[in-house]
Chains A and B, each alone.
Chain A
Amino acid sequence: MPLEPALLTQDLAHDEQQDYLWTLNFGPQHPATHTTLRLVLKLQGERVVDAMPDIGYLHSGFEKLGEHLDYNQYVTVTDRMNYISPLANNVAWHLAVERLLGIEVPPRCQYLRVILCELARISDHLLCTGAMGLDTGAFTFFLYAFNRREDLYDIFETLCGARFTNSYTRVGGLMYDATPLFIEKVRQFVRTFPRTLDDMQRLLDRNRIFLDRTRGVGVLSREDALAWSCTGPVARASGVTRDLRKDEPYLCYRDFDFRICCAREGDCLARYLVRMSEMRESLKIVSQAIENLPAGPVNVGQECRAVLPEKPWVYSTIEGCIAHFELAMSNRGFETPCEESYAAIESPNGELGFYLVGDGSDVAWRARCRPPSFVHFAVFPLLIRGHTLSDVVAVLGSLNIIAAELDR
């Protein structure tokens, strides 16, 4: 049950008499953290007085690797950041590279990337809400969510051969064009998914136990959300009407009709509801994009010298052969300006951006990733203070912390 506000404001953490508090080590291997993260909780009875996140267990030096892998190789590493929605990371990475190079990808590629981003968003929100349901005791809900994630994995497999780590984008285009089978599968998903969403919402939206465990728990005010740099569903659930798809339309988001889902309450329930309604909006975007998919090439032309040329051209002409050689040899590659740029997308978790520094070669001088999970996890102690131990998993689930993205 939510606690009364007077208890929330008590500064118990810095109380002189702390003898009665005891410390609980939550994680790094705990089933409810879902990933490898650790919390040191200070408890008074069952109430959390303070929480200290301890991260870094999954640190694998992704940003250092980004300074040694070229712009096309590094996309495999971005898959492993937020492995719940790897396609969104791929798109974010190559959007940043293309911003640095000044490339505008062709319309078909933009539409396909939008479809993939939105499918990734659905897949991410399904996992997040499903896991949140699981942690608060709604196991059926979790199974409904995971069943449909399987269909999404099938779609991704049809598209690029990989289910989990897709690495589908390339500088100036995609690995290959989408097939009619992919389009058929997406259409079928768009047809059948609203029913699943209805089922899921019927299961949980008015469930007494779920509502009691999430309403008024982990409240983030609008001011705090802005001050603590929150973005994405976490900020929108607190009343920040910021969505990069509308505010700074990248790719071709201008062409679609969709709404931004917001809430005012800022508690776990609001975050859950925002994610559920965002899935419906994503589905609207996917269905508009798949029905209006433009024809034409998916890669930019040869004049920008960043994309491998078409194979018939390579095998039949000397120019094509040279162009391929220039890109494929490890001591050649394309040129980048000695400049710095930042590009961000509205990833399922929030603003996912890459700050790139080019040094003339096709390897980044600095490849900084702005991870939304990292920023959101810093807010966690603020949200959990004053609530009970069992609320830890509800708040953790509603923030959707992905440890691989947290630690990189």
Chain B
Amino acid sequence: MSAVSNRRVEGVPLPLVLVGIAALIAFPLIFTSPTPQHILILTLLFGAMGTAWNILGGYAGQISIGHGVYFGIGAYTVGFFYANFLVSPWLTWPLALILSVAAAIVIGLPTFRLRGHYFILASVFIVDAIFIIVSNWEAVGAAIGIEYPIYREGDLAGSLWALQYHDSKLPYYYSALGLFVASVFVSWRIQFMPLSYYLRAIREDQEAAQSLGIDVTRYKLVALIISALITTLCGIFYAQYVLYIEPAATISIIISLEIAFIAILGGIGTLWGPVLGAFIIVPLTEILRQKFSGAIAPGFGSGDASLLLQLEYLLEGGGGNLDILAYGLIVMLIARFQPNGVLGFLRRLD
């Protein structure tokens, strides 16, 4: 027993980690109404993506505000084939992952030459360019997006094949939990591999890293591919969950920002930071959204893609997007008082 209780996973006692996982498994059995389950599904989804983002942004120090691209590739690939040809996502997910790796290479190779702010800017421009292309691409529904044909038979085999469940959120919940645990596990495991030394060395000083034999471009790309693959899996899940895909809720700058913010505000470069970030930010913004913008939004962060448009909308008194303001306020407060993220604050209390 003491062997278990004395072990720590990145500073958190192992028993606490196990209790946390048990609590997450038990949660939907205790809270059976759809709203808390929905909020936690989104929390787990964005926790998985924030953690995946952190492998590139935190460990390797390559801040990308463009992960919506990989999220979108997952959602659009399975969505396109199901909506048009009723092809099961089980057959198309490998294609989504292949496209994701291809996109990572095509985007990563030229932009990894850029340093610091230029890399960030490039990631923003690329995601926005792809957003504009998809928003005008009739084959994938342009700005309206893809509406999923609903599988109505209700038999288990058919539901599993279509990856749609309409009686219960439980299959979605546990899928999201699986993605989340897998993402955190990968992020944790990397810390014991040579890769983590390469990535941190690249983050700390690229020239010094090169002088020690580290192929900087190659390992940045490895980090991006791992990060992109998990994000794409999350995109597949998202499409199956909301059964409606639009550019604004997948490939937008806003979604890309939210993925990054979760890791940055929680504690960039740490294992638990993105987890903490997701569990604080996602429920808070979801609750604010439901309180202040009326209907339950289909997805975290959906709505207008442009912050300016959001603001304009708000100033005109329409919609009452107070959640966006509240979100901005949280971001500013944490950035002002806890530049190391919430985890940095907790560490100091320890």
Partners in one complex: no
